[in-house]
Structures are given as C-alpha cells and as structure tokens.
Amino acid sequence: MKDASKRKKTELFGYLKTAIMTLALRPGADLDESKLSEEFDLSRTPLREVLRQLAGQGYVDLRENRGARVSEMSHVTLRDFFLAAPMIYGAVLQLAAKNATQTQIDDLKEAQETFKAALRSGSSADRAMANNRFHEITGEMADNIYLAPSFQRLLIDHARIGMTFYRPQTAKMSENLSEASAQHDAIIAAIEAGDEMAAAQLAIDHWNLSRDQIELFVMPAGLDVPLGTMTRKTPA
C-alpha cells in the first residue's frame, strides 16, 4: 500500500512538472486539486505533499485558503531571468567540473543521447524536457545548496520561455539546435576532464547561443537592460 502511494505521488509529480514546463498548464493557472486527487487516486494529504515539493522547487505557488497555482511569469520574471541566467549557468558549470562523480558523468552522457534523439524525431516538448534534464544533472554535479534553488527556477522558466516563443523550425533554429548539441558534448568533455576554466567558457558560449535563439522571437517590451550578456574575464 505504501509503495503504491509512493508510485502515485511520483507519477503526479512527473505529470505536473512536465505539464508546467511545456505549458500544458499555463503560468498562473489554478490547479484543480479535487480533479488531480481523483485522476491519480491520491487522498488530500499525499497530494499536498507533492504540491509542497513542487512549490519548494519553484513550479507552483501555495496560497493559504486559495489552493495551488502554477508559478507566474511576468515582465519582472523575464527581466530577472535574463539578468541572472548567465551568472548562474557559469557558476554551475564551473562547480560541476570540480565536483562531478563518474556516475553523474555517465548520467549526463545518457541525458545527452536522449537530447540528440529528441532533436532527430521528438516534439518541441520532448526537446525542452530532454534539454532540461541535461542541465538538471549539471546542477546536481555542482552540489551547492545556495545555487540549487536558483538554478532549478532558472531551468523552469528557461523551458517555459522557450515553449512560449516556439515557432516551427527554421534553418536558423535547426543550426542553433545542432550547435547546442555540440556544446553539450563539449560540456561533458570539460566536466569529465575536470577543466573548470573550459566549463566556465562553455557556459558563456551556451548561454549566448540560447539568448540569441530566444531573441529570434522576443525582445521584452520595456526591458531597460541587455538580454543578459556574459563575457569572459581575463584573470588579473
């Protein structure tokens, strides 16, 4: 009985995570807890445990006496995302190169194969989730309690921004996705070699490619700062 409840909670967590990141559940949408409870055959207590876990990772907001809703995206969210993303990505990859275990490196290689398969024949949602898993593992490698919450929220909104402004693939987008895959391979190599400087530089390159791809479709109105740029600093 306990195992069955755990399995149902895992299924609900996975469903909501994917639905939120691929915009099947829109930012700010109220969650119908009664419907979820019925669909996943979970009582209120384990359901709320899942929602608290999701809230702790930035997927949902819990409101007293008003239930849960999908975390919002706004002008402020976009502005903060573009400002913080390059700094956080850089710190995560540098620490990943320093701290990664062989098991994590093997997991990262497997995630990259899944990403490549999604590029060949997957949907936009498949690509978003495969890319997210790749970067989630680098966050696990970084193993830093201060970076982890920020990086998790960053990945959520990175996926949602990409899905929001997704358009059918163009030649330019296909080229960018191919380059992103090649950068993933280079990231794996740098981490496996324990090369922190190379990993930091790849964070710069990878973010700039992602930023450029987003700029194909969006320039937030009223954004009074550039879309988060990174430049490598020469050590003193």
> Per-residue pLDDT tens for 108-124?
999 999 999 999 998 88
What is the structure's pLDDT at 3? 81
Say what the pTM is. 0.83
What is the structure's pLDDT at 216? 61
What is the structure's pLDDT at 30? 95
Q: What is the mean pLDDT of residues 201-230?
A: 67
> Per-residue pLDDT tens for 78-94?
888 889 999 999 999 99
Question: Which pairs count as long-range contacts for 170-174, CB under 8 Å and 24+ apart, including other chains?
Answer: 170/216, 172/216, 173/213, 173/216
CA 133, distance to chain mean position in Å, is 7
What is the structure's pLDDT at 10? 95
> Per-residue pLDDT tens for 158-190?
999 888 765 555 666 677 788 999 999 999 999
What is the structure's pLDDT at 175? 77
pLDDT over 70 percentage in the chain: 86
Cα 143 to Cα 16: distance, rounded to the nearest angstrom: 25
Domains of the chain: 2-70 (1.10.10.10), 75-215 (1.20.120.530)
